Every structure is written in structure tokens, then in C-alpha cells.
Amino acid sequence: MTILAHTTIIDGNIKRASFETLTRCRELASAHDHNFVASIVHPDAQQFVGQVAEYGPSKIVTVEDESLENSVNEPLIQALQSILDEVDPDISVFASTEQTKEILGALGAERGSAVLPDVSAFELTDGGGVRAARPVMAAKILSNTTADKPPVLVSVRAGVYDAEPSPSDPEVQQVDFNYEQPDLVPTLKEQMGSGGEIDLSEAEVIVAAGRGAKDDDGKGKQLVEELADELGAAIGASRALTESGVYDPSLQIGQTGKVVSPQLYIAIGISGAIQHVAGMTNSKHILAINKDPDAPIFDIADFGVVGDLYEIVPELVKQLKANR
């Protein structure tokens, strides 16, 4: 039986979530004595082979082609088809990204595979299928789903497994690929950035601002940014602050925003509405600063400070500066 872990590369960097899925696949393959193969699809796939080999696959298959230069779905789907034809994996595992969400259904339909998207945990069943847990209803409920038999395509949320290298000396195979341009040609017109300097979905530390940090002279926003600067953190926001134009919509975290999984999430002046929590509940540690001791954010916070953010955040920045 073969488990394939696909490596997602965005802006020339392997996504942290891919190192996590590579690790999980290696552990499962080793526990069940299965083959563990990794794949890379990129115009210059070779340059990533060394990094992927750090995670222990016995084989790495690559597709290199100019058509893969931009993040357009059609060439990627075709490239992945070539890889799946070559490797014929029983289980293929992807990092759950916006693009994976778009392509997995098409890939599953083409290959007659079961698709388990955006899962927060998965394991192999005795029959060679996959059992997975998936947060639904704004992450209030975990739905358990089983694909009884292979082939299965799975995409995994970032931050649910730890990335742990275990180097191997894999065979590397370049798979032949000829991109067949479809009649309707998708064209990439504009690529929108993540909005912040640090990619929220990859960030180790996030400082997130809510309505409590909104004021007429922008003082709350300034404090949030000072704290983020001091910690080298990415900035996120609740919908209250993206809808009111204080922050770019691309920084919104939650059900209708980004799903994040940093090591540390600092929620400043955020009440903890279910739609916000849906996007950050996977954070390893949550620190909440809120003047209302009954704010629901404290129900999920590991650390809480009850008080006025205009007093607490400057003190926090001062202490961090003093202890640099």
C-alpha cells in the first residue's frame, strides 16, 4: 500500500502545513509498513527535493513545467493526474489551502476517489481506507467520516500535526508531463497578497484586534501594531474591524475569513463570537485581553488578562522591550 504526501509551494516556499502532512504520512506509513512517497509540482521542482527529503520519503516524484508558474488550477490538476497515474497511491494527502479546496473535488471526480477535505485528524482503517475528523458548523462540532476503501484524497488543516524531520535518501523520479491547454483557457489577472507582511496561515504568532481596539484616533490600532512588531507577529482582525475598514478584509480571521493555527494567538478586544473562534481555535496557546470578565473568549483562552487594553498592551510592550 502506498501513501503519497503532496508538497504545496506558494511564493517559492514550501508551506509549513506540508511539512506537517509529510510528517504525519511518514508516521502512518512506518506504523503500517506502507510505502511513503512525496510529490513536488513546480517549474523548478528540483530545488525543493532536499527539503522534502528531510521528512523521510522513500521516493520523491516531481513534475516540472512552465505552465505551473502561476497558481492556475488547470495545469496543477493535470500535473497531479500525471503523478497519481505514475504512483497509483492508495491515499494521497494534501495541505488544506484555498487552492486545494478548489482542485480536490475535480481530482476526486476524475479519479473516482473519495475526498475527505479540510480534516483536523486522520488515520488508516483496517480495510485500507481513511477515518477522519472534520470541524463543521463553525468548528462547534467534529464530524467523523470514513472512506471505506482506497483510493482516497485527504486535505489536512494546518497546525494539527507537528512537523518533525527524519531525513532519508530517497529515489527521485521526474514524471513526464505535457500540459494540454483546455478550450477555455483560465487566465490569471491579478494575484492578491495575504494583506500583511507575514502570511497569517504560516504565522507562529498572531496579534489579533477586535472592536475593543477601534477608536477615533487610531490609538488601539497603533498599540496592536506595536505589540505585533515587538513579537515579530502577523496581524489579524475580527470581522468588526475588517467591515469597518480598520483592517484589510484579507486579515479577517474566522468562519468567513482565514483559518489560522499559530503557536500563540493574542486576542485583543475580541469577544470570542463563534464565527471568530471557528478560525483560531486550533491555535496552540491563546492569550485574551478583554475588559469584560464574562467575554466568551475566556472560555477558550489558555491565559486571560481582564482589563483595559489601552493600559495592558503598552505595559506588555514595555516589559517585552525591557526583556529583549
Ligand X SMILES: Cc1cc2nc3c(=O)[nH]c(=O)nc-3n(C[C@H](O)[C@H](O)[C@H](O)COP(=O)(O)OP(=O)(O)OC[C@H]3O[C@@H](n4cnc5c(N)ncnc54)[C@H](O)[C@@H]3O)c2cc1C
Cα–Cα distance list, 147 to 122, 123, 125, 128 (Å):
11, 11, 9, 9
**DSSP state for residue 134 in the 8-state scheme:** E
Shortest Cβ distance from residue 274 to ligand X (Å)?
Answer: 7
Supply the minimum distance, in Å, between the C-beta of residue 90 and ligand X: 36
Burial class (CB in 10 A: 0-12, 13-18, 19+), 152: buried
Given CA atoms 269, 274, 279, 281 in this order, what sign does their dihedral have? positive
Nearer Cβ to ligand X (79/209): 209
Task: Using the minimum distance from each CB to ligand X, give the nearer residue, 252 or 281.
Answer: 252
Residues 50-89 touching ligand X, rule: CB under 6 A, are none
Dihedral of CA atoms 236, 309, 263, 18 in degrees, nearest 10, equals: 0
Among 14, 87, 160, 270, binds ligand X (CB under 6 A): 270
Q: What is the Cα–Cα distance from 239 to 265, expressed in whole angstroms?
A: 16
Of the candidate spans 93-101, 124-132, 180-188, 283-291, the one that interacts with ligand X by CB under 6 A turns out to be 283-291
Residue 252 within binding range of ligand X, rule CB under 6 A = yes
Q: Which of 8, 168, 271, 281 binds ligand X (CB under 6 A)?
A: 271
Residue 218 C-beta: closest distance to ligand X, Å: 14
Q: Are 116 and 122 in contact (CB under 8 A)?
A: yes
Interaction between residue 179 and ligand X (CB under 6 A)? no
Closest distance of CB 104 from ligand X, Å = 22
Whether omega before 165 lies within 30 degrees of 0, making that bond cis, reads no
Size of the site for ligand X (CB under 6 A): 27
Stretch that binds ligand X, among 59-67, 145-153, 289-297, 315-323 (CB under 6 A): 289-297
Report, in Å, the least distance between residue 212 CB and ligand X: 3
Question: Measuring CA to CA, which residue among 42, 69, 40 is closest to residue 52?
Answer: 40
Distances (CA, A) of 151 to 2, 33, 88, 274, 303: 10, 18, 9, 35, 43
As a whole number of angstroms, the longest Cα–Cα distance in the chain is 62
3-state class (DSSP) for residue 13: strand
Please select the residue that binds ligand X; options are 74, 115, 133, 310, rule is CB under 6 A: 310
> Radius of gyration over alpha carbons of the chain, in Å?
21
Q: Answer yes or no: are the C-beta atoms of 20 and 162 closer than 8 Å.
A: yes
Residues 191-250 that bind ligand X (CB under 6 A): 210-212, 238-240
Q: Give 38 or 240: the residue with its C-beta nearer to ligand X.
A: 240
Q: Does 257 bind ligand X (CB under 6 A)?
A: yes
Specify the residue, 91 or 253, whose C-beta has the smaller distance to ligand X: 253
Give me the half-sphere count of Cα atoms (radius 13 Å) on the Cβ side of residue 114: 16
45 binding ligand X? (CB under 6 A): no
Q: Identify which range of 58-66, 93-101, 186-194, 285-293 contacts ligand X by CB under 6 A.
A: 285-293
The CA distance from 4 to 83, in Å, is 10
Q: Which residue is nearest to ligand X (CB)?
A: 254
255 forms part of the interface with ligand X (CB under 6 A): yes
What is the closest distance, in whole angstroms, from the C-beta atom of residue 242 to ligand X in the complex? 8
If binding is defined by CB under 6 A, does position 308 make contact with ligand X?
yes
Binding residues for ligand X (CB under 6 A): 210-212, 238-240, 252-257, 269-271, 273, 275-276, 279, 289-292, 295, 308-310
